[in-house]
Chains A and B, each alone.
Chain A
Amino acid sequence: DTAVSQTPKYLVTQMGNDKSIKCEQNLGHDTMYWYKQDSKKFLKIMFSYNNKELIINETVPNRFSPKSPDKAHLNLHINSLELGDSAVYFCASSPSDWGPQETQYFGPGTRLLVL
């Protein structure tokens, strides 16, 4: 059973296009996250949602819009893609948002390449 799944696994697209990445977790967790990992492997949080409510919104361009239809899903929509958006995007989940000691469970990642 896949705990945190993401689709698609790979995404190759042209500059200026709009694309979405989907994430689902079957762990019953309340909190979900989006991370961006750049070409140097540096990993940074973008957003977090707790029970469909936005909790953390880092300094991310407005072109990135997360959406959580229910607490098991957190999708990421990106408008007007730019070359610099090329990265690996990871979804993660944790039991709640107030547990600094909690483990986060990561999906396999979506490798986005903008041409």
Chain B
Amino acid sequence: AQSVTQLDSQVPVFEEAPVELRCNYSSSVSVYLFWYVQYPNQGLQLLLKYLSGSTLVKGINGFEAEFNKSQTSFHLRKPSVHISDTAEYFCAVSEVVDSSYKLIFGSGTRLLVRP
């Protein structure tokens, strides 16, 4: 079964600083990777996803992620964060289940942006 590890439970950072949120997944023949964001008291929304092709994926709100097959990683980055980026970030991988699939989520990383 697939698994996703987010090593950092919380990442504090000052406004306008760069940030990297780490994600590692268990290896598989083919893999689809996602980053979702959860703002306080809201549901999750997709930031970006890797399906195939270019290993650098750009998403919404200035976020990007790099797929690294050899290191089984899919780290999320932003060059300059805003206060409004304070949220919980979840990395996820698709896992095939019989004739369907499901998302396996990591434990989440809380990004705390300070002024």
Contact surface of A with B, Cβ cutoff 8 Å? 4, 40-45, 48, 50, 55-56, 90, 92, 97-101, 103-109
Interface size class of B (residues with CB under 8 A): 20 to 34
Q: How far, in angstroms, from A97 to B51 measured CA to CA in the complex?
A: 16
B32 and A98 form a contact (CB under 8 A): no
- SS class, residues of chain B in contact with chain A: strand
Contact for B102 among A4, A42, A45, CB less than 8 A: A45
A45 and B103 form a contact (CB under 8 A): yes
Cβ–Cβ < 8 Å partners of B51 in chain A: 101
Cβ of B46 under 8 Å from chain A:
yes
Contact for A98 among B44, B100, B108, CB less than 8 A: B100
Cβ of B115 under 8 Å from chain A:
no
Knowing A43-B90, A56-B97, say if A106 contacts B105 (CB, 8 Å).
Answer: no
Count of CB-CB pairs between chains A and B under 8 Å:
61
B108 and A103 form a contact (CB under 8 A): no
B49 and A100 form a contact (CB under 8 A): no
B5 to chain A, nearest CB (A): 12
A87 to chain B, nearest CB (A): 14
Q: How far, in angstroms, from A50 to B99 measured CA to CA in the complex?
A: 11
Cβ of B72 under 8 Å from chain A:
no
Of B32, B99, B103, most A-chain CB atoms within 10 Å: B103
A112 to chain B, nearest CB (A): 14
Cβ–Cβ < 8 Å partners of A106 in chain B: 36, 43-45
Q: Which residue of B lies closest to A109 (CB)?
A: B43
Sorted nearest first, the 9 A-B pairs with minimum C-beta distance are A106-B43, A100-B94, A100-B101, A106-B44, A43-B105, A101-B51, A41-B108, A97-B100, A55-B100
